[in-house]
Amino acid sequence: MTTNLLDFDLNGLAVFCEQLGEKRYRAVQLFRWIHQKGASSFDDMSDLAKSLREKLKGVAHVMPLPVMSQHISSDGTIKWLFDVGAGDAVEAVFIPEEDRGTLCISSQAGCAVGCRFCSTGHQGFSRNLKTGEIIAQLWFAEHFLRKHLRRDERVISNVVMMGMGEPLQNYSQLVPALRAMLDDHGYGLSRRRVTVSTSGIVPKMDLLAEQCPVALAVSLHAPNDALRDNLVPLNKKYPLAELLGACIRYLAYAPRDFITFEYCMLDGVNDQPEQAHELVKLVRQYSNSGAWCKFNLIPFNPFPQSGLKQSSAHQILAFARILNDAGIVTTIRKTRGDDIDAACGQLAGDVIDRTRVDQRIARQRTVMLKPIATIVETVKET
């Protein structure tokens, strides 16, 4: 078994090179070939000594993820489905906009958190992706798009960890992938333009603040513990007071001066005017101005097993208005890629329920898709 070099951030690659008896600057060269130029063959890395290329061939490889399908929407959104083995697949989605290109990527096959409105949650957990599998989604998309669009410069300016899975439950594999995104020798993305979205793994939020502070989105979905316990079961472990406390602590390290709260609008469940007022009260407990956070209301994308319905446009607007009137900046997420089933909760694949394990085993190639949550109007730059 040789080593997949996509599994490393630059430091990790430097250690690997040192173990091969090579100088650190070789790692910089290698890292640039892989991430900036999209090379996967050592033979293409023309400024590396031939002896080093031969040495590398014996011990390492650059392993992309096999692409199972690609769909291009009329609005330019592109969805890729990647094979991660053993019948599991994950999605990444590219959302082009005038002033940016956003890639939404996955961190796990499935998810253990089990939110009621999320189809990944309903499917259950399969496994954590490795660093190389997380970064391979960006590696592929960036270099595919450069070729496709015949562009030499960067196409993807923003990355959001809002695909399948709970990124902070895969912390150790996530952080090197984030570092590769941020590294000037890698993708050189701004910390403000890399967003981790979490359902609220409090200790890992603190760790991220300290070790790799990037923009943070927190999936709130409810104004009180009773409702959040029901929608996001993790709330029983990390209730709102702890979660919001962690958000405030995060702000001291964050590249932005606000936290984005995502709030999935569920008809008759969490979308009532009094619940909007309750949210205002909740965030004001932490700062009177309300300026420390922004809300992004996501129209729920229904799927059959959820038993939930999307709030009406009228209800969503009324909810947004209450928050905005109270001085809390609130946006409504625009759905992109409708025609290719690329929006949150729109599943193109064959979705399985993890409790029906027998069925899963019986299937040769089950595709597990997640609501690609981030087909998204992502967090807007300020």
Report the amino acid identity of residue 38: G
Give the angle 241-300-170 at the CA atoms, nearest 5°: 55
- The entry of ligand SAH, ligand SF4, none near residue 301 (CB within 5 to 8 angstroms by kind) is ligand SAH
Q: How far is CA 73 from CA 146, 341, 348, 375, in A?
A: 18, 9, 13, 12
- Quick check: 162 binds ligand SAH (CB under 6 A)? yes
The nearest distance, CB 216 to ligand SAH, in angstroms, is: 10
Site for ligand SAH in 314-353 (CB under 6 A): 344-345
**Catalytic residue chosen out of the listed positions 91, 133, 142, 166:** 91
Residue 254 binds which one of ligand SAH, ligand SF4, none, with CB within 5 to 8 A depending on kind?
A: none
Under the criterion CB under 6 A, does residue 167 sit at the interface with ligand SF4?
A: no
CA dihedral 288, 235, 120, 141 (to 10 degrees): 40
Q: What is the CA radius of gyration of the chain?
A: 21
CB 27 within 8 A of CB 17: yes
Distance between CA atoms of 140 and 222, rounded to whole angstroms? Answer: 36
Give the CA dihedral 197, 201, 204, 209, nearest 10 degrees. 50
91 a catalytic residue? yes
Query: How many residues contact ligand SF4, by CB under 6 A?
Result: 11
Closest CB 228 distance from ligand SAH, rounded Å: 12
Instruction: Please list the residues that pair with 195 across neighbouring strands.
Output: 160, 215
Q: Which of 198, 270, 311, 378 binds ligand SAH (CB under 6 A)?
A: 198
Does 91 engage in binding with ligand SF4 (CB under 6 A)?
A: no
CB-nearer residue toward ligand SAH: 337 or 371: 371
Q: 114 is in the binding site of which of ligand SF4, ligand SAH, none (Cβ under 5 to 8 A by kind)?
A: ligand SF4
Whether 115 is a known active-site residue: answer no
Residue 162 contact among ligand SAH, ligand SF4, none, beta carbon within 5 to 8 Å by kind: ligand SAH
Is residue 115 at the binding interface for ligand SF4, with CB under 6 A as the rule? yes
The residue within the footprint of ligand SAH, chosen from 73, 199, 366, 378 (CB under 6 A), is 199
Q: Which of residues 225-264 bind ligand SAH (CB under 6 A)?
A: 262, 264
Rounded distance between C-alpha atoms, residue 78 and residue 336, angstroms: 10
Q: Which two tokens stand for residue 343?
A: 């929006």
- 266, 308 in Cβ contact below 8 A? yes
Q: Among residues 17, 247, 264, 344, which one is catalytic?
A: 344
> Which among 311, 324, 316 is positioned nearest to 280, based on CA atoms?
324
Count other C-beta atoms under 10 Å from residue 291's C-beta. 13
Residues lying near ligand SAH in the complex (CB under 6 A): 117-118, 162, 166, 197-199, 219, 262, 264, 298, 300-301, 344-345, 371, 373
The catalytic site residues sit at: 91, 344
